[in-house]
Structure 1
Amino acid sequence: MLTGALTRLTVALFWLLHWLPLPVLAVIGSAVGEAMYWVARPRRHIASVNLRLCFPELDAGARRRLVRAHFRALGRSLVERGLLWWASEARLKRLIRLEGAERLRALLDSGRPVILLAPHFVGLDMGGSRVAMEFDSVSIYARQKNRVLDRWLYHGRSRFGDQLLLSRQDGVRGTVKAMKAGRPFYYLPDMDYGRKDAIFVPFFDVPAATITGLSRLGRLAGAAVVPCVTRMLPGGRGYVAELGEPWPDYPTRDVEDDTALMNRWIESVVRTMPEQYYWVHRRFKTRPAGEARPY
C-alpha cells in the first residue's frame, strides 16, 4: 500500500507527466504497464485466471500475450490519469471524443431518467470526465483509505460541472431522486461485490455474482438504459466515449433475465477490445455454494 509520502511523490510525477503530448504519455504508460506485468505477480495471476476462464479457446501463449497487452493498457490508463486532474477542459475535449451526446440530451429533455451503463474498461474515467463536461450527473464514489489518493480521485471525478457523488451507504433513494431530477446516473455494475444484492448469472459462460441494480433501478426510476463504452485508441490518438441507443423494452419484470442480458452485452463489447477490460479484478471470487474459488 502506498504511504502518504510516496503517494504525494507519485502525484507530483503525474503532474509533471501531464504536460507531455499524449503519444509520449502512451509510450511511457505502456512501459510502466510492461513493468507492472513482471512485478505485480498477484494481479498478473488474477488476470491470467480470468482469461483462462473467459477465453478457453485461446492457447496458453495467446492468453499470455493478451495479459501483457492488458497490463500495457492498464499502465497507460494510470499514467494518463494526470490529464483528468490537471489538463484544461479544452485539451481534454480534443483528446476524448464524445459520440451520441445529442441522443442523451434528447432523452433528458423529454424528462426520462437515464442510467449510463459503463463497464469497467481502462478508459472508464476518461469517458466519465468527458460526459461530466456536458452533463451534470450522479455516480457512486467509494472513499479511499489513502487520504492523499482519495483527495485527487475525488477532485478528478468532481472537477467539471456540478457532479453529485454518492456513497454506497446513501442507498437507492438518493440515486433515484437524482435521476428523476434530470441527472444521468453513471453506473458501473460489473464487478464482484459479494453476495449482497447479487445473483449468479453467466459471464463468458461462468457463473458470476452480479448485482441486480441495473434492472431494479431502471424499474424504480422508470429509467432508460443507455450503454456507455470508452475506448482507448492505439498510438496515443486519444479516447472515444460512445453513448449508444437506449435499450428497448428494458427492464422487464424478470430481474434474472435482465441481469443476464447485461452480462451478455458486456461480453459482446469485451470481445471487441479484450485487452482493455479490467481483468485484474477477481471477477469470480464469489462462488456458488460448494464451488472452489479459482484464484
Structure 2
Amino acid sequence: MKRLFQSLAAWPLPLLHAVGAVLGWLAFLASPTYRRRFLANAAQAGYAWREVRSAVAEAGKLLGEVPRLWFGYTPPVRWEGEERILAARALGRGVVCLTPHLGCFEVTAQAFGARFGHITVLYRPARKAWLRELVDTARNRPNLSAAPATLPGVRQMLKALRAGEAIGLLPDQVPPHGLGVWAPFFGSPAYTMTLAGRLAQQTGAPLLLFWGERLPRGQGYCIHVRDWVGEQPVDPAAAARQLNENMEALVRECPGQYLWGYARYKQPREAGAA
C-alpha cells in the first residue's frame, strides 16, 4: 500500500482530484448507508441538496489527494488571514489550531509548518493493522510531527505548547468515551472533545480556526484563518457548545466542501477499543 501511495504521489493534483471526484460519486451511489448519513447530516444543518451536491465529489478528492500530501511535495498554497497567526505567535504561549472536516485539512498543518514553524498534530491511530504503519509515519515532515490520540500523545502536545509551538486538532472528530461531552452541533447532540479547551486553559495558548479551501481544477489551496469567537468557558459543557458554534461558522463558509458523510452524531467508542 505504501508503494502504491508513493507512486500516486507523482501524479499531478488535477488528475488526482479528477479520479477522486469519480470515486466520491461511486461511493455515494453504491452505499445507501453513506448516502443516507450524508443527506441527513446536511438536512440537519438546514441545507438543501443543491447546496451540498458538490460535497460528494469533494469527499472523493479528499481521498485522491492523500498520496500527494503524504508522500509528494506540498501543492501551491496561499493564505488568507495569516496576520492572525503572526499575532498569536507573538504572545509566546503557543497556538491551538482547530480545523474541522472542511476542505483539505491535511494541507493546513503541512503549510503551517513550512511557513510558520513547528506544529504537532493529533491523529487517531489506524484500527486496521495493515494501515497502521502507513498512517503512523506518513504525516511526519520537516516542522510537522504527528501525536497519537493517547495519553502520551496529549503530553506531547502539551509539551509543544509550553515550548511556544503550535498544535493542531480536528475538533469535530468524535473522541473516545470519557474524553468529551454532549453538545449541540447544528441543533443535534454530538459527542464533542474537551481537549482543545483544556490545553488552551493550561497553557494560555490562543485558539485559531483554520480551513483549507480546495481550489478548482487542482490549482492548489487557500488556507483561511479565523479568530476564535467568544471567551473560553471553564465548564466543559459550555466550552463544547462554544467549540461547536465556532465549527458551525466555518462550515457555513463553504458547505460544499464539508465532509457531510462523517458519522458526527455516533456514539463514542470506549477508550482503547480496537
Range of TM-score over shorter length: 0.7 to 0.9
Distance 1:30 1:181 in 2: 41
Counterpart CA distance in 2 for 1:279 and 1:248 is 23
Between the aligned partners of 2:233 and 2:128, the Cα distance in structure 1 is 41
Instruction: Supply the distance in 1 between the matched residues of 2:69 and 2:156 (Cα, whole angstroms).
Output: 26
Q: Retained in 2: the 8 A contact 1:85–1:155?
A: no
Q: Alignment partner of 1:133: what SS?
A: helix
Unaligned stretches of 5+ residues in structure 1: 1-7, 288-295
Deviations 1:20-74 (A, max 9, x none): 332232222211211121223322222122123222x63xxx26x73x5222111
Name 2:36's counterpart in structure 1: 45
1:130 aligns with 2:115: no
Letter in 2 for 1:82: P
The separation in 1 between residues aligned to 2:153 and 2:14, in whole angstroms, is 41
Alignment partner, residue 193 of structure 1: 175
Query: Is the 1:121–1:277 contact (alpha carbons within 8 Å) kept by the matching residues of 2?
Result: yes
Report whether the alignment pairs 1:142 with 2:124.
yes
Post-superposition offset of 1:194: 5.1
SS in 2 for 1:271: helix
1:85 is matched with which residue: 51, 67, 70? 70
For residue 21 of structure 1, the aligned residue among 12, 33, 42 is 12
1:115-162 residue CA offsets vs partner (Å, 9 max, x unmatched): 001112240112122122232112223221334433333333112325
Partner of 1:231: 213
Alpha-carbon RMSD across the aligned residues, in angstroms, is: 2.6
Q: Where do residues 254-273 of structure 1 align in structure 2 (5 Å cutoff)?
A: 254-273=235-254
Q: Would you say the 8 A contact 1:96–1:127 is kept in 2? A: no
Identity %: 27
How much does 1:268 deviate? 1.7
Count residues with an aligned counterpart: 267
TM-score (norm 1): 0.79
2:102 partner amino acid? F
2:54 matches 1:69: yes
CA distance in 1, matches of 2:35, 2:176: 22
* Structure 1 residue 279 corresponds to structure 2 residue 260: yes
SS in 2 for 1:228: strand
* Residues 15, 41 of structure 1: alpha-carbon distance in 2 compared, 3 angstrom cutoff: farther
User: Structure 1: which amino acid aligns with 2:58?
Assistant: A
Quick one: distance in 1 between partners of 2:155 and 2:66? 31
CA gap 1:263/1:170 in 2 versus in 1, 3 angstroms: same
Q: Rate the CA distance shift 1:42–1:248 in 2: closer, same or farther, 3 A.
A: closer
Q: Select between 206-215 and 249-258 the one with higher mean Cα deviation.
A: 249-258
Structure 2 unaligned blocks of 5 or more: 269-274
